[in-house]
Amino acid sequence: MTPLRPLIVTMGDPAGVGPEIIARAWSTLSDSAGSLAPFVVVGDAQVLKAHGQPVEAVLSPADATSVFGRAIPVLHHPAPAQVTPGMPDPANAVAVADWIERGVDLVLSGEGCGLVTAPIAKAPMYASGFRFPGHTEFIAELTADVPFSGTRGPVMMLTAKDLRACLVTIHVPIDQLPELVTGERVARVARVVHESMKRDFGIAAPRLAMAALNPHAGEGGAIGLQEVKVLRPAAEALRAEGLNITDPLPADTLFHEEARARYDAVVCLYHDQALIPVKTLDFWGGVNATLGLPIVRTSPDHGTGFDIAGKGVARADSFIAAVRLASEMASARAAR
Ligand SMILES: NC(=O)c1ccc[n+]([C@@H]2O[C@H](COP(=O)([O-])OP(=O)(O)OC[C@H]3O[C@@H](n4cnc5c(N)ncnc54)[C@H](O)[C@@H]3O)[C@@H](O)[C@H]2O)c1
Ligand SMILES: N[C@H](C(=O)O)[C@H](O)COP(=O)(O)O
């Protein structure tokens, strides 16, 4: 099989742990040529150089393959404001968004096989006028006009070990869930997940589970009506379409080892219903992936870690797992 093009890594907030986990990940992965796609970083080369690894500015992702064994290849796009680890500056937020847009463009052009995004911090991005909740919605907007055969996302998936938890709603207040958890929204997410399990994970016959919203799946309507009125009808309609998906199941018994063995992915209804089990199962190895887009995109399961940025203690495990997963997903897409 033809070798993959490089992965495109975006630096994220330069004041966060992104630069140091990229440097640490490179020192681990630089001799993995062949088994994993190499990566090239879109960001400020000077910021990366501060983390003790060789850095080499390149002119295109194509240069990354020959450089990756000896240095971190960087497509240098300078941060406009001074970078102080742990001290985010909204003046750099526009550059952070530009790095993401550049990264998406490089994957769409075919110069990169997938995108791995180091963490951004929402507050400084919002302060600069960034109008998206996070990477997920921004990247969906950037790829909205690109043809895509299948149900279009974005769907956020958090994965660790054998758990793939996919979100129907993301960064919304809990009191909006009864209004937002609709049959249409659940069905669209389930279709995206079903198609992604085949496209991105090579699972020919995906088994999906659906989490209930209410305790004990609503206890037949005695503890809430979403399961009776919304979720079970949606599951029945999806099964009629040919998807293998359960009725809404009590979330408290969905995530233990034996339960996880019964499904390939679980459709969860809100952020913490998915993220607590994933980050509890393996905080250091968890990965955030965006499904249902024309490009592969992954990200570590943690944020910018401003409290430890620049102190040399940030772990690169999740970032390395995100690189591995993006490489695997890109390979699965290339093999189809
Ligand atoms: N992929 C992403 O872009 C992403 C993911 C999650 C959160 N965020 C954003 O990051 C910002 C900070 O979020 P938060 O404080 O809720 O979570 P966080 O993950 O940044 O930090 C939570 C705790 O985990 C620690 N931690 C984080 N990464 C670590 C690493 N690599 N090694 C060791 N310890 C680590 C931090 O020191 C902190 O104590 C917020 O704006 C949030 O929205 C971004
Ligand atoms: N909910 C995500 C997590 O905790 O990993 C995080 O906010 C990242 O969201 P984006 O990938 O949309 O930036």
> Options 3.90.550.10, 3.40.718.10, 3.40.1180.10, 3.20.20.80; which CATH number does 1-148+294-336 get?
3.40.718.10
Matching fold, domains 1-148+294-336 and 150-292: yes
CB 112 within 8 A of CB 100: no
Domain ranges for the chain, please list them.
Answer: 1-148+294-336, 150-292
CB contact set of 164 (below 8 Å; sequence gap of 6+): 157, 158, 197, 201, 264, 265, 266
Ligand 2 within 6 A of CB of 301? yes
DSSP 108: H
Mean pLDDT for 139-143 is 98
What is the CA(241)–ligand 1 centre distance, in A? 39
Mean pLDDT for 45-50 is 96
Ligand 2 within 6 A of CB of 232? no
> Does residue 80 register a pLDDT over 80?
yes
> Does residue 33 register a pLDDT over 70?
no
List pLDDT tens digits, range 149-185: 999 999 999 999 999 999 999 999 999 999 999 999 9
Mean pLDDT for 42-61 is 97
CB 167 within 8 A of CB 270: yes
Q: Give dist(CA 12, CA 10) in Å, integer.
A: 6
Class of domain 150-292 (CATH, top level): alpha beta
CB contact set of 184 (below 8 Å; sequence gap of 6+): none
> Does residue 1 register a pLDDT over 80?
no
Locate the ligand 2 atom nearest the alpha carbon of residue 275 and give its number.
4
* Sign of the torsion formed by the C-alpha atoms of 331, 332, 333 and 336: positive
Mean pLDDT for 217-236 is 98
User: How confident is residue 229, by pLDDT bands cut at 50, 70 and 90?
Assistant: very high
The reported pLDDT for the residue numbered 3 is 66
Ligand 2 within 6 A of CB of 154? no
Q: Give dist(CA 61, CA 117) in Å, integer.
A: 16
Nearest bound ligand to CA 275?
Answer: 2
Nearest bound ligand to CA 287?
Answer: 2
Mean pLDDT for 6-32 is 95
CB 279 within 8 A of CB 286: yes
Nearest bound ligand to CA 291?
Answer: 2
ipTM associated with this complex? 0.97
Residues contacting ligand 1 via CB (< 6 Å)? 17, 21, 119-123, 135, 288, 299-300, 302-305, 307-308, 314-315
Q: Per the structure block, which two tokens stand in for 248?
A: 């809404």
* DSSP-derived pairing of the beta strands 265-268 and 207-211: parallel
The reported pLDDT for the residue numbered 207 is 98
List pLDDT tens digits, range 231-242: 999 999 999 999
